[in-house]
Structure 1
């Protein structure tokens, strides 16, 4: 089930990052009393009442500025607006209405998305002296809050969730494998999809995805059903020739949320960039199956160990995704393109694999015999029992005597033993360490 996306937008220095951190419950965005500090979009997962959603913080919009950094920040916000299901338009209730607010309001009205007008910095129980001025924006009744003090935020969240779709945002059968094509612009995402679909596949239809930016392409291959979620066609509204790489994370957010497997497409000539790391990280954090596709491999001059060295470099740069298989392909020549669908099906099955409890405990028990658990101050870690709680991603509960004794390195050792015995190629694995009630400490 895809989560709705909520974007916080507004001009610089109205308190967007402070609100973001307050809702997220931790300091994520940089907060300084200086316009333009939040230059990169930040996102976090939020739960309010029974609703889960993704919250996006954006850099401030400066509609008239043509300076390169404000222009890039405006583009970030535009992409967040395109991707979001609900938009929180924040203004300064202390300063009052200014021309930039009017221009941003015009932009938001054109989006046809639900917009909540939020007056921040109302730090007392008294109404803002400027409250009624904001009605002229024509966006609806303003909601007064104080991000810094936490006033009114619950009421604002209540209003946000009212605008979420009443029915589920996912309408595909469970057996349909949903594949997100993610990566920076111009790495060949659309070419890869076209090549796969061009090989005697039955394309069902092209239908709009959960946002107007993504195109869903359902198709069948024999008895297998797939849907490609392609974000490559997002419109580039900005006329400014800025670097678009840094905005590709927001393109990935909606697609990754809905996918079972992500294809991270990387340009062979460029190698792994910082933006690739961010996009891969989003797939990893969301527990999705991941395949790394190195496109344009035909353009690389080959020597004896070229592929091995390239693989080593990728593993170093994306060390947290060591489980992800790597395919070297060319959408132009068709090199190894026939391997992609086969690998997608395999990774989807790995992501949904369930291990019998008895078999799992045999492997964990053997792992402890081969490598004794760590101890601290005379107390040794004990793993009493292990069970698999869920799939997509595979999640295991370890019943132990003391969480403090479960060192990260030993948990990684247990994970590696599980992978050696059962595979789980292409999928992250999650662990929940639970202290056994009445267990021997």
Structure 2
């Protein structure tokens, strides 16, 4: 089946991200009333009638600013999306009518020579319908009156897409209805490691830690918008590519600041999107600024990753600025284990997004952690280990009675989860539970992942309240 790509472009606040979300069937792109929310290109698998295609959301086109400015760099990203697409959805705002910027960028689309579908968005109601007719003046053909927010006009858009790309769409229309839309984030199912599926890796950290620059270095192209301004990235952008034979899906996320410092509504949306990306990843790379590592916010983010049960890798970015590298790395690895004991042994990898240093080691570390995250341990091995631990360091007595640990099993991985069966486990001290978790991590080589330990109380056959023997 031929798969084609469509870029959505237009000036700020005409509803590009709303249309993107409508086509992919879920709210992946951030949407807000203020203009300029989207900055990076975001791709998603769209469904329109019987058609399946890749849709690309882009930044709002703005004439102001030179090539080196933030607006200029955003324009370059949009132009790259148009060059990579098979067709273009050019959006205007029916309510505000045709603006000078619309005419300027209509010329850009014509020069690109791509099949273009003119869409007059926000065309619900009389005012919108009347404003849609103004778009005729752009010379891009008949405009489609559409309301992305309310889902009106999609049938007309479907017909226009069939007409614009007859060869690419003919096979899609004939495709089996069982073809399913690829999901941006797959719900965790607890299944075993499947090397055919892309490994989902989210890159998180404080603003200006260099996340987008690092991912551009890994991809080998300026795919993500970067610059000296903190907080450029807003949407969590998922990028799929091959790395030494393994399929990876990397998510660039918005920088996470302390909650008390987030006043802007849009920044709150971006932070929630970043946390969602971390929640549905398998491994999270926490990118630190090596010159100021392990700030309080870094530790807060790491604790969130552990709470969500994801594997963790620490990336020390801007390593090119460090002088005593050997001693510094040794110290930071010790600090990581001391400050983050709940994921003890996590890889700590020095990298530089600016010069490409350490990229192989960082991705290899993420794949190793993903392997550990999926690991299962046979019940027989677990109980041989448990018996040895009990013989050497038995649990303490409670009210003169010894706590009895019977056996242990691992019902699931992702992350490794163990169930301990015994008697009087409600009295088992937290310190002894930590002792068991640390022992599991060391004995079965489980670094860098959270370990879950659940206590299962065995029934006492002599307990009259449970209907046992009297």
Q: Specify the alignment match of 1:196 in structure 2.
A: 218
Say whether residues 1:359 and 2:374 are aligned partners.
Answer: no
Equivalent residue for 2:448, pick from 420, 426, 441: 426
Distance in 2, Cα, partners of 1:169 & 1:375? 51
CA positional deviation for 1:251 = 4.4
Please give the alpha-carbon distance, in whole angstroms, between the structure 1 residues aligned to 2:293 and 2:325: 17
- Distance of 2:400 and 2:263 partners within structure 1: 63
Cα distance in 1 between the residues matched to 2:449 and 2:352: 24
Q: Which residue of 2 is the match for residue 379 of structure 1?
A: 401
Match runs of 1:14-413 below 5 Å: 170=185, 174-175=194-195, 176-198=198-220, 213-232=235-254, 249-302=271-324, 305-413=327-435
SS of structure 1 residue aligned to 2:376: coil
- 1:384-437 superposed Cα distances (whole Å, 9 cap, x missing partner): 010001111110000010122211111111112212221112211001101012
- Name whichever of 393-402 and 212-221 sits farther off: 212-221
CA distance in 2, matches of 1:385, 1:440: 20
CA separation of 1:198 and 1:355: change in aligned 2, threshold 3 A: same
Paired with 1:184 and 1:247, the residues of 2 have a C-alpha distance of 16
Query: How far apart are residue 256 of structure 1 and its match?
Result: 1.0
Measured against aligned partners, the alpha-carbon deviations of 1:115-159 in whole angstroms (never above 9, x if no partner) come to: xxxxxxxxxxxxxxxxxxxxxxxx9xxxxxxxxxxxxxxxxxxxx
Measured after TM superposition, the shift of residue 228 of structure 1 is: 0.5
Cα distance 1:283–1:439, how it changes in 2: closer, same or farther (>3 A)? Answer: farther
Task: Give the gaps of 5 or more residues in structure 1.
Answer: 1-62, 64-73, 75-111, 113-138, 140-165, 204-211, 235-239
CA distance in 2, matches of 1:297, 1:439: 62
Q: Residue 434 of structure 2: SS of its match in structure 1?
A: helix
Secondary structure of residue in 2 paired with 1:428: coil
Secondary structure in 2 matching 1:228:
strand
SS at match of 1:424: coil
Deviations 1:268-327 (A, max 9, x none): 111112211221111100100100111111212217632222223333433433242211
- Assess if the C-alpha contact under 8 Å between 2:254 and 2:270 holds in 1: no
Once the two structures are TM-superposed, the CA of residue 231 in structure 1 deviates from its matched residue by 1.6
Structure 2: gaps of 5 or more residues: 1-32, 35-121, 123-149, 151-180, 188-192, 224-233, 257-261, 464-470
1:167 positional shift? 10
Q: 1:439 to 1:303 in 2, by over 3 A?
A: farther
Quick one: structure 1 residues 268 and 304, their matched pair in 2 at CA, closer, same or farther if it must change by over 3 Å? Answer: closer
Query: Measured at CA, do residues 303 and 342 of structure 1 come closer, stay the same or move farther in structure 2, by a change above 3 Å?
Result: closer
SS at structure 1 position matched to 2:275: helix
Aligned residues: 273
Aligned 8 A contact 1:249 1:275 in 2: no
- Residues 369-388 of structure 1: CA distance to partner in whole angstroms, max 9, x if unpaired? 11111112111121101000
Whether the 8 Å contact between 2:352 and 2:358 is mirrored in structure 1 is yes
The 1:168/1:410 distance shift into structure 2, 3 A limit, reads: same
Aligned-partner Cα distance in 2 for 1:248–1:170: 16
Report the secondary structure of 1:437's partner residue: coil
**C-alpha distance in 1, partners of 2:220/2:245?**
17
Q: Secondary structure at the match of 1:305?
A: helix
CA shift, 1:170, in A, is: 3.5
Mapped to 1, the partners of 2:267 and 2:295 lie a distance apart of: 10
Contact persistence 1:290–1:347 (CA under 8 A): yes
- Report if aligned partners of 1:185, 1:248 keep a CA contact under 8 Å in 2: no
What is the alpha-carbon distance in structure 2 between the residues aligned to residue 326 and residue 213 of structure 1? Answer: 26
Root mean square deviation of aligned Cα: 4.1
Q: Whose Rg is larger?
A: 2
Q: CA deviation at 1:169?
A: 6.2
Question: Aligned partners of 2:461 and 2:440: how far apart in 1?
Answer: 24
Decide whether aligned partners of structure 1 residues 183 and 385 sit closer, same or farther in structure 2, where only a CA change above 3 A counts: same
TM-score (norm 2): 0.51
Give the equivalent residue in structure 2 for 1:78.
Answer: none
Aligned equivalents of 1:439 and 1:325: distance in 2? 47
Report the Cα distance in structure 2 between the residues aligned to 1:252 and 1:384, rounded to whole angstroms.
42
Distance 1:247 1:213 in 2: 9
